[in-house]
Amino acid sequence: MGIHIKSPEEQQLMRAAGKAAGTVLEFITPHVKAGISTDELNTLCHNYIVDGLGLIPAPLGYGEGPGRPPFPKSVCTSVNHVVCHGIPGPKPLKKGDVVNIDVTVIKNGFHGDTSKMFTIGEPKIQAKNAIDVALKSMWLGIHQVKPGGTLRDIGRAIQTYVEANRCSVVREYCGHGIGKVFHEDPQVLHYDDGSRDFVLQEGMTFTIEPMVNAGKRHTRLLPDAWTVITKDRSPSAQWEHTILVTKDGFEVLTLRDEERAAGYPEKGAIA
Ligand code: MF3
Ligand code: CO
Ligand code: CO
């Protein structure tokens, strides 16, 4: 497969795709409340992506393989102990639930991929902790991104922080290169497997999307062949951004205004 280094023109297209993906999360945020079903959230996102933005929702029809049907919906919605790839369904969200909405759009042939956690009312302390730890770990990973840095630096920063905070990192799923292809090389592990001395270069684009469990790290795949849950049914949290390696650091292509307002950086440079 190989790694695709994006030209300045391709970087501009990735910026536009990333920004669009972020706006879908901004659009859906006020709708994520007790009583709405994840299927209704999916329909709202689908219509916004297709009719509002004129774009393609990448998950819809994606990923058919041996023993696995194509993904049937336009976003992934992962509630409580669902780790990732939850399929939107008819069950209404209720107070105390936590849900990840994962949006991927295709704009001018390029993908933007980002996800965010939402809380319905007050979640239990375990779930809240996993959400906070996952968010912080994603940003620690992002801050490792610079030319000359390694994938290993990213995984190590995330794992160290998560495990120091009484949570665990899911190992079966990882971040990924992204561009014209939804999931391309390299794989971006959220832990240190000791073998990722792969050096980052300007123009690479990939996601960082740690899945953090309040309990043990192990997962189970449901018979629908998509939904991943925690084996111990502990709550799980995930955040995701699409990142560009710049001349001297990183750029977060999917940053939202609410994050900017909260002081999260669009760009970072080697000190
Ligand atoms: N958006 C997910 C990711 O971050 C992938 C979803 S694939 C789907 O990589 F088919 F489940 F949508
Ligand atoms: Co992704
Ligand atoms: Co995603």
197-239, pLDDT tens digit by residue?
A: 899 999 999 999 999 999 999 999 999 999 999 999 999 999 9
Q: Tell which atom from ligand 1 comes closest to the C-alpha of 70.
A: 10
Nearest ligand to the CA of 178 is 2
Indicate the CATH number for domain 8-269. Answer: 3.90.230.10
In this prediction, residue 196 has a pLDDT band, given cuts at 50, 70 and 90, of confident
The secondary structure of the chain, three-state, reads: CCCCCCCHHHHHHHHHHHHHHHHHHHHHHHHCCCCCEHHHHHHHHHHHHHHHCCCEECCCCCCCECCECCCCCCCEEEECCEEECCCCCCCECCCCCEEEEEEEEEECCEEEEEEEEEECCCCCHHHHHHHHHHHHHHHHHHCCCCCCCEHHHHHHHHHHHHHHCCCEECCCCCEEECCCCCCEEEEECCCCCCCCCCECCCCCEEEECCEEECCCCCEEECCCCCCEEECCCCCEEECEEEEEECCCEEEECCCCHHHHHCCCCCEEECC
What pLDDT does 246 receive?
98
Q: Tell which atom from ligand 1 comes closest to the C-alpha of 102.
A: 1
Q: Is 209 in the pocket of ligand 1 (CB under 6 A)?
A: yes
Q: Is 184 in the pocket of ligand 1 (CB under 6 A)?
A: no
What percent of the chain clears pLDDT 90, i.e. is strictly above it?
A: 97
Residue indicated by tokens 């750029």: 251
In this prediction, residue 270 has a pLDDT band, given cuts at 50, 70 and 90, of confident
* Per-residue pLDDT at 26 exceeds 80: yes
* Per-residue pLDDT at 1 exceeds 80: no
What percent of the chain clears pLDDT 70, i.e. is strictly above it?
A: 99
By mean pLDDT, which of 1-10, 46-55, 169-178 is the weakest?
Answer: 1-10
| Domain ranges for the chain | 8-269
In this prediction, residue 191 has a pLDDT band, given cuts at 50, 70 and 90, of very high
What pLDDT does 2 receive?
83
Nearest ligand to the CA of 59 is 1
Q: Is 240 in the pocket of ligand 1 (CB under 6 A)?
A: yes
Q: What φ, ψ does residue 101 adopt, rounded to 5°?
A: -110, 125
Q: Residue with the nearest Cα to atom 7 of ligand 1?
A: 59
What pLDDT does 271 receive?
67
Q: Is 192 in the pocket of ligand 1 (CB under 6 A)?
A: no
* Per-residue pLDDT at 258 exceeds 90: yes
For ligand 1, pick from 46, 56, 85 the residue to mutate: most ligand atoms within 8 Å of CB.
Answer: 85
The mean pLDDT of 110-139, rounded to a whole number, is 98
The mean pLDDT of 112-130, rounded to a whole number, is 98
